[in-house]
Amino acid sequence: MSHDVPQDRWVSANGVRLRLRDWGGTGRTILLLHGLASTSRIWDLTAPLLRRYAHVVAFDQRGHGESEQPADGYDFETLVADLRAVLGLLGAERPVVIGHSWGGNVALHYAAAYPDEPAGVVFIDGGFLELAAIMDWPETERELAPPALAGMPLEEFRRRLREEWMRERWSEVWETSILANFRVEDGRIYPRLPRSLHMRILRALWDQRPSELYERVRCPALLLPAEMEDGDADRRFYEGKCAAIARALAGMARARVHWFSDTIHDVPVQRPQELAAIVGAWLEELA
């Protein structure tokens, strides 16, 4: 099966209605997981490039994008149950799970809880940062809360994306990916993920201790952190990331790392060709 344009469909997995995005391909399954407050659309540039290696699928995780928003189930155990239910519907055995940001933390929990299932896991600027080692919860709650964008006029948001927040990095696909995180009503944007759920997920992320999970991961792991030329504006986060990666490499028996230099957090959109090439070469070693 091969799709020039990804096929979107609804599936019922673990009792939740989820929006699935399928790029086709053959062989093993690659399941792509987006980050917090994002959607499967962040993979629109990278996924088609991975199709030559596998059957490539992503889905909007519960509460996100067009998927259902149940009142609960935002802990890692339930998110992993969602993931496994999707894999079961796909008939996927020995999948490769690739997570971006918070999606990397979901992938880590899956690989640690079910070490015999995945053929490999990839962590794209996520899955290894241990927030609690960098800041306490009150500071995390304050500094990492979602921006207050609800009600902003759509055209003002687009203008600020192009002229302020993204500037030289702007692309039409990137803007489409970001706009997928919002619904539009009467010309104004509203986050699809409510602030209350965002904060519950952020708390679960802060509570997670990746360093306690590494030794349970048996499959090959690829860590793909991003760094800016200035070493990231927030030195504390950058140093915390470096320390976390060192712990991950020491804790996981079959892990390696590749840094994306001069790259912001959204690697799948900013560096899709390089990302796909690095992941592809690693996938060929798994064969």
pLDDT digits 0-9 by tens, 254-282: 999 999 998 889 999 999 999 999 999 99
Q: What pLDDT, on the 0 to 100 scale, is given for residue 163?
A: 87
Q: Is residue 211 part of a domain?
A: yes
Q: Is residue 131 part of a domain?
A: yes
Same domain, 12 and 22: yes
Same domain, 129 and 26: yes
Q: Is residue 201 part of a domain?
A: no
What is the pTM (predicted TM-score) of this model? 0.95
Same domain, 15 and 76: yes
Token look-up 């209350």 returns 196
Q: What pLDDT, on the 0 to 100 scale, is given for residue 188?
A: 96
Same domain, 42 and 125: yes
Same domain, 158 and 231: no
Q: Is residue 200 part of a domain?
A: no
pLDDT digits 0-9 by tens, 34-60: 999 999 999 999 999 999 999 999 999
Same domain, 57 and 134: yes
Q: What pLDDT, on the 0 to 100 scale, is given for residue 4?
A: 61
Same domain, 161 and 265: no
Given CA atoms 162, 168, 171, 177 in this order, what sign does their dihedral have? negative
Same domain, 167 and 38: no
Same domain, 187 and 212: no
Q: Is residue 202 part of a domain?
A: no
- Residue at which a domain ends, from 164, 192, 220: 192
Q: Is residue 197 part of a domain?
A: no
| Structural domain of 176 | 147-192
Same domain, 83 and 49: yes
**Looking at this protein, which amino acid is placed at residue 240?**
G
Q: What is the CATH number of the domain that holds 259?
A: 3.40.50.1820
- List, run by run, the mean pLDDT of 10-residue segments along the chain (287 residues): 76 97 96 97 96 97 97 97 98 97 98 98 96 95 93 94 81 86 95 96 97 97 88 74 95 96 91 97 91
Q: What pLDDT, on the 0 to 100 scale, is given for residue 73?
A: 97
Same domain, 168 and 236: no
Same domain, 118 and 222: yes
Pairing of strands 2-13, 16-24: antiparallel
- Starting at the edge strand found earlier in the chain, the sheet holding 29-33 runs 2-13, 16-24, 55-59, 29-33, 96-100, 120-124, 221-224, 255-257
Q: Is residue 268 part of a domain?
A: yes
Q: What pLDDT, on the 0 to 100 scale, is given for residue 168?
A: 74
Number of domains in the chain: 2
Q: Is residue 199 part of a domain?
A: no
